[in-house]
Amino acid sequence: MVNITKKFPGVIANDRVSFSVHSGEIHALLGENGAGKSTLMSVLTGLYHPDGGEIRIDGKRVELSSPREAVRKGISMVHQHFKLVHPFTVAENVILGLQGLQQVYDIKTIEEEILECSKRYGLTIDPKARIWQLSVGEQQRVEIIKMLFRGAEILILDEPTAVLTPQEATELYKNLRNMAGQGKAVIVISHKMNEVMENTDNITVLRDGKYVGTVPTRSTTEAELARMMVGRDITHTFYKESVATQGRVLEMRDVSVLGDRGRMTLKNISLDINGGEILGIAGVAGNGQKDLAEAIAGLRSVETGKIFVNQKDYTCTGCRKLIDAGVSYIPEDRMTTGLVPNLNAPENVVLKSYRKMRGWFINWGKIRSYTNELIRQFEVKLAGAHYPVKMMSGGNLQKLLLAREIESNPSLIVAVYPMRGLDIGATESIRKLLIAQRASGKAVLLISEELDELFELSDRIAVLHAGEIMGIVHPAQTTIEAVGLMMAGKRMECDAS
């Protein structure tokens, strides 16, 4: 890619960026959220047409007028925001647009091939399941399988391990290395420095839409890469002061929840969180985390059991009453559940609070001023407050969502993978925000698949497996290995609940 320029209204996403990858290598593309990484790769996959520059494959200039043309040239990508048809099954999504497919085909044979492919790469999935029934983690597995199933020569993965266990991530990179060994070119967009340092050959860094540099992985360090990405040193450790708990904020007693597929996804869950405490929830994706968060937020009915917020019963009362009770919810799917993509930033900010305004009309001038203050305070980058939020990068969408939820002054914050897909600078900011909320007496339920993150931020960690709590532990009194065994289904005899 030579001098690629891509402009959107009010912003230059890529400013004369050059990037190259060779067959047989794994090449990482790093940069803060909004640095232009995903845009550059969207140009390479034919999703966007560049405003300047050219693309060469095997030394020959090519015109990638559409994603179909990019697939013909052997280029496939797993996007950060998935390209899946929700009413369709996994198998139907995998074969969508598949070239060479006969008009009459045997779906059972295709399902068997997909199942074999998923097992080969450690990405367990049910080919017959419909996309809307899957968690975000499972949906990302479908996207990865789509790319692997097509056998692309240039493989692009945007945050491919964000929803995988460490073992699955290791297996994925092992297979990517095998593919590179067979002459394929692999491009990985990632914010996980340890994975990048362990599994790539070269690293290219973008900042503010511009090319910063390319370095061999073996001759650089995480600190150097961080400085290239953000222009300053990054703090990787945080001081979490001792905070006196301030009364029970959330209490769940024997809660069972029915999932989208008609089976119990939560089974007799009991837990509690005090003010001034972060309770971490560990577990592999698809083990009930989504249903747990939705039940607390009032988005999913409880079959049995009770949910109390500040000693009041809010079982099956609906999300509006829970919002009024001081429950803030940061969902895993920020683009559909958290924000409305076609609305602008002020319209998304006011979604939860418009009912509290006096009179018949919304004071949009006041809302815009408040939104601008949130944008400044939380360092949200966007082309303009009047543009639809779907034009923002994933990390900046997350910052806007967090700004709205935290500034509503909640007593309980339910945060589902709040750092997923964020760069190291944004991750640093979000972690400090959560610690600050804890220090101010808020109760925080933090759902994450990053065990290092949970150990660093949580006061206690509850481990979910198959919809049940395997145990509740104090980070200082256990190990990551022990929590990993609990994630695999080993129950503790006693816990720290």
Residue 239: predicted pLDDT: 57
Whether pLDDT at 240 is above 80:
no
pLDDT digits (tens, 9 = 90+) for 10-24: 789 999 999 999 999
pLDDT digits (tens, 9 = 90+) for 168-214: 677 778 878 887 888 889 999 987 888 899 999 999 999 989 999 99
Range with the poorest average pLDDT among 62-71, 275-284, 417-426: 417-426
Q: Dig out the tokens for 173 from the structure.
A: 């990179």
What's the pTM? 0.67
Q: How many residues does the chain have?
A: 497
Q: Which amino acid is present at 357?
A: M
Average pLDDT, the chain: 86
Whether pLDDT at 167 is above 80:
no
Q: Domains, the chain, ranges and CATH? A: 2-230 (3.40.50.300), 248-487 (3.40.50.300)
Whether pLDDT at 446 is above 80:
yes
Per-residue pLDDT band at 237 (split at 50, 70, 90): low
pLDDT digits (tens, 9 = 90+) for 21-35: 999 999 999 988 778
pLDDT digits (tens, 9 = 90+) for 329-340: 999 888 888 899
Residue 480: predicted pLDDT: 83
Residue 55: predicted pLDDT: 96
Mean pLDDT of the 351-378 span = 84
What distance lies between CA 157 and its chain's CA centroid? 14
Q: Dig out the tokens for 229 from the structure.
A: 């990405």
Highest mean pLDDT of the ranges 72-76, 394-398, 418-422, 486-490? 72-76
Mean pLDDT of the 355-380 span = 84
Whether pLDDT at 372 is above 60:
yes
Residue 61: predicted pLDDT: 95
Whether pLDDT at 398 is above 60:
yes
Q: Which amino acid is present at 9?
A: P
Per-residue pLDDT band at 123 (split at 50, 70, 90): confident
Whether pLDDT at 79 is above 80:
no
Q: Dig out the tokens for 276 from the structure.
A: 């001034």
Whose tokens are 């079982």? That residue is 315
Residue 90: predicted pLDDT: 94
CB 13 within 8 A of CB 36: yes
